[in-house]
Amino acid sequence: MQPLKIKHLLPRPAIWLAVSCLIAAPLVMARPSLSPSQEHGVIHSTIAETPALALAAQPTVASLAPTLADKRAVFVGEQHDRYDHSLIQLEILRRLHAINPRIAVGMEAFQQPFQPVLDSYVAGLIGEEQMLRQTEYYQRWGLDYRLVAPLLRFAREHGLPVIALNVSRELTHKVASEGMANLPPELKSELPAKMEPPSEEYRRRLEPVFAMHQGSDDKNFDYFVDAQLLWDEGMAERAARFLADNPDHQMVILAGNQHVAWDDTIPGRLKRRLPIATATLLNSWSGHVEAGLADYLLMPEQQALAPTGRIGIAIEEDSAGVRISGCAEGTECSQDSFLPGDLIINIDDTPVSGIADLRLALRDRVPGDIVEVEVIRTQESGSASLTHAVTLR
């Protein structure tokens, strides 16, 4: 048996603080037992093969850039709501761009049907608010835009293609609820070509994720696996198509850790379509670690965005606009200022007709700010316009 090779990146006092990596370098391993034996339920030969990370080497994100520069695709995983992960992704993009300006950014956060909108944004034809509305960012992705804004602004500043990797929400939701076999023709046409079935290991890794969300019905689990596979195959196909059409370009692919960890997710499915050199980096991975997981494990110091102000309401969108569906306890909303069913029409004289308008109206506000919220309340006696001054939480 050949020894595994691993490097470990130790803490650094910078944005990428506390990076660790899992790549080819000496791995210290316990001496294997001569024959498998079992004592008190412990298989000794398995224990003897436990990987040990060598901590002497201390490369940084900066020093990794030349190594990553000769890879056609660099996957940088994330936990979607971690600001420090976004900062790591931006730092890697900046350093690779300094080496090779012909670089593209592939993003899970945007869905493929909206590629023309991203093209217009990068070209300077539309502004940021238009891009957010036209890509339906808040409805489809929903996370704080400040997490990805620096990456998009860097791409726009330097004219870098931003590729919408994700398949449409309509397709994934249909597959998750009914499976691939029952898709209507208009959605079936969106399926990636030459999808490879999931391995048993792929399915096994998804079991605890499924259990947390939906229960344990076998049929529904099959649909859940189909949806995950669709995400991986769809993003792999879109990235492979761009790289095949642009052989002089490198691509930095930004997606959730679970979509780039191991080789049967996006990386392996991309290489099945296009045999290229790749590298995978995972941010703050907390699962099982062994050879084949990734090339680098990054463990940055957690950093959070400053909180934005919140009204303290739950909302839902319908054909009329944005309605209040509930109130958080202890807020002005819960003191009869607003009622479920109230239709929000203005925030400080900014018209609100959808979730994007509401999120954009509040994105630069901080706790303690006072905003005026106008709603339409419909009761048996008729409709009335009500305006309340709200102190943001």
For the chain, the first-to-last Cα distance in angstroms comes to: 59
**Angstrom distances, CA of residue 315 to CA of 135, 144, 241, 322, 376:** 20, 16, 38, 7, 14
Q: What is the pLDDT of residues 53-111, one digit of tens each?
A: 776 676 788 899 999 999 999 999 999 999 999 999 999 999 999 999 999 999 999 99
DSSP per-residue letters across 140-179: HT-S-GGGTHHHHHHHHHHT--EEEEEPPHHHHHHHHHH-
Q: What is the pLDDT of residue 4?
A: 37
Q: What is the pLDDT of residue 30?
A: 39
Give the residue from 64, 237, 75 showing the smallest Cα distance to 164.
Answer: 237
Which domains does the chain possess?
Answer: 59-298 (3.40.50.11550), 313-391 (2.30.42.10)
pTM reported for the whole predicted model: 0.85
Give the residue from 389, 299, 367, 384 showing the smallest Cα distance to 85.
Answer: 299
Rounded to 10°, the helix 149-158/115-122 angle is 60
- The backbone region for 254, taken as left when phi is positive above 0, alpha when psi lies in -120 to 50, beta otherwise, is beta
Rounded Cα distance between 333 and 340, Å, is 10
Q: What is the pLDDT of residue 21?
A: 45
Write out residues in the chain with pLDDT < 70, as ranges. Answer: 1-45, 55-56, 58, 214-219, 332, 334-336
Q: What is the pLDDT of residue 328?
A: 84
Q: What is the pLDDT of residues 337-387, one digit of tens each?
A: 889 999 999 999 899 999 999 999 999 999 999 999 999 999 888 999 999
Q: What is the pLDDT of residue 45?
A: 62
Give the residue from 98, 75, 100 showing the smallest Cα distance to 88.
Answer: 75
